């Protein structure tokens, strides 16, 4: 059985979950340190680069960091991510195979959804927490408001995709939103001071 409480603990930890694409593993630890120092400690490392799994291992060594894996596409990805130290799993979509694998690994699983049919399939699998992705191109705040009105307060979301520092507070103001995913915090050439400053600003957002 999927444990919603464990996923809620992940989603409620910080208002913004940085979505990280790590191309240089030597930057993994200082990036995590800067984010945690700024108040964002829930880190999604996407499996989009050759060093992603190693980055998860390095970031997991940072005190206070809760590191998960994103762009998890299949059970094999999940298995490798969990072995690397990922403590939660984020996927761009929803499959029964991933849902079952998350139960086997006893790891919080946040699947991506784009429409009502996706949410209904998730509910059938015992899921009630979803990543609304890609948030902006799927209709933005009006679309999520419409979906949330159908499924009620038991279903909550982490919108990700196209969300900016400027728009994040508007998303977080929605009752159905537990947190947002964003890549702006670490955008551009890595600068630890700049990342810490952006994280500090984002950590002050309210849900």
Res. 197: pLDDT tops 70: yes
The catalytically annotated residue of 6, 33, 44, 58 is 44
Residue-wise pLDDT for 31-42, tens only, equals 999 999 999 999
In terms of Cα–Cα distance, which of 194, 168, 196, 172 is closest to 182? 168
Q: Residue 1's pLDDT is what?
A: 59
Structure tokens at 118: 């996706």
Residue-wise pLDDT for 43-82, tens only, equals 999 999 999 999 999 999 999 999 999 999 999 999 999 9
Percent helix / strand / coil, the chain, rounded to 5 = 45, 15, 40
The catalytically annotated residue of 6, 100, 131, 145 is 131
Question: Which pTM was predicted?
Answer: 0.97
Average pLDDT rounded to a whole number, residues 144-172: 97
In terms of Cα–Cα distance, which of 184, 158, 174, 191 is closest to 20? 184
Indicate the DSSP class of residue 160. Answer: B
Q: Give residue limits of the domains in the chain.
A: 4-204
Buried b (16+ CB within 10 A) or exposed e, 82-115: bebbbbbbbbbebeeebbebbeebebbbbbbbbe
Residue corresponding to tokens 């994040």: 168
CATH topology assigned to domain 4-204: TIM Barrel (3.20.20)
User: At residue 37, what are phi and psi to the nearest 5 degrees?
Assistant: -60, -30
In terms of Cα–Cα distance, which of 106, 84, 86 is closest to 5? 106
Percentage of the chain lying above the pLDDT 70 cut: 100
Res. 203: pLDDT tops 70: yes
Is 83 noted as a catalytic residue in this protein?
no
Is 6 noted as a catalytic residue in this protein?
no
Q: Residue 3's pLDDT is what?
A: 80
């Amino acid at each position: 059985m999927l444990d919603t409480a464990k996923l809620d603990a992940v989603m409620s930890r910080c208002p913004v979950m940085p979505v990280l694409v790590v191309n240089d593993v030597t930057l993994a630890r200082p990036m995590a340190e800067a984010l945690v120092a700024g108040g964002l400690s829930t880190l999604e490392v996407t499996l989009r680069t050759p060093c992603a799994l190693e980055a998860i291992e390095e970031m997991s060594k940072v005190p206070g960091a809760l590191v998960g894996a994103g762009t998890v596409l299949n059970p094999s990805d999940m298995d490798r991510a969990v072995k690397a130290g990922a403590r939660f799993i984020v996927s761009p979509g929803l499959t029964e195979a991933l849902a079952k694998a998350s139960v086997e690994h006893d790891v919080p699983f946040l699947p991506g959804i784009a429409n009502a049919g996706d949410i209904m399939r998730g509910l059938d699998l015992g899921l009630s927490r979803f990543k609304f992705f890609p948030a902006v191109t799927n209709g933005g705040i009006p679309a999520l408001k419409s979906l949330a009105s159908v499924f009620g307060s038991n279903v909550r979301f982490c919108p990700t995709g196209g969300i900016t520092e400027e728009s994040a507070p508007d998303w977080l103001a929605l009752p159905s939103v537990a947190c947002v995913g964003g890549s702006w915090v670490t955008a551009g050439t890595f600068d630890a001071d700049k990342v810490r400053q952006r994280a500090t600003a984002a950590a002050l957002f309210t849900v």
